[in-house]
Amino acid sequence: MATQTPIEQQESSSASAGAGAGAGAKPGLRKPVFIKVDQLKPGTGGHTLTVKVLNFNTVLQKDRRSVSLHVRQTRIAECLIGDETGTIIFTARNDQVDLMKSGTTVILRNAKIDMFKGSMRLAVDKWGRVEVTEPAEFVVKEDNNLSLVEYELVNVAEE
């Protein structure tokens, strides 16, 4: 009778449990689904997009002191980004500002829609990622700016 160490028991039980889920597929990892700018809706998140940066405007740049007396710089920029379906304003923060230069193509992963004064803004928080990629082939449709559409929150009374 062969005895197994606890690690061998764990590996064999996880291998048999994962066999029904698919050959070698890691649970919890999903393939990214790329969407277009015109599919963005208020209050949504988890979006992955490939967009071009059209223009770049620094909104805030100031120093702040942290507890450890290191001077950190807070930077916020608003960038007009878009694809072949439309454009939207992207709010870049801190290190993201350096990546968002006019004319570059970027992939936004786990982006979310923030509302600012009733209009949509795209943002990537600490759980998302901004990656510079090869230049895209599409021509940006600049006459469909989703950030110019003003939304109003309406509470519907239940009857």
The DSSP code sequence of 66-127 is -TTS-EEEEEEEEEEEEETTEEEEEEEETHHHHH--TT-EEEEEEEEEEEETTEEEEE--TT
Domains of the chain with bracketed CATH: 35-148 (2.40.50.140)
- Residue 10 — pLDDT band, cuts 50, 70, 90? very low
Predicted confidence (pLDDT) per residue in 102-157, tens digit: 889 999 999 999 998 989 999 998 888 998 988 888 888 889 898 888 888 888 88
Helix, strand, coil: what percent of the chain each, to 5? 15, 40, 40
* Gap between the Cα atoms of 77 and 98, Å rounded: 10
pTM of this prediction exceeds 0.75? no
Predicted confidence (pLDDT) per residue in 47-96, tens digit: 999 999 999 888 777 766 666 666 667 888 899 999 999 999 999 888 88
Predicted confidence (pLDDT) per residue in 143-159, tens digit: 989 888 888 888 888 87
CB 61 within 8 A of CB 126: no
Of 99, 56, 59, nearest to 75 by C-alpha is 59
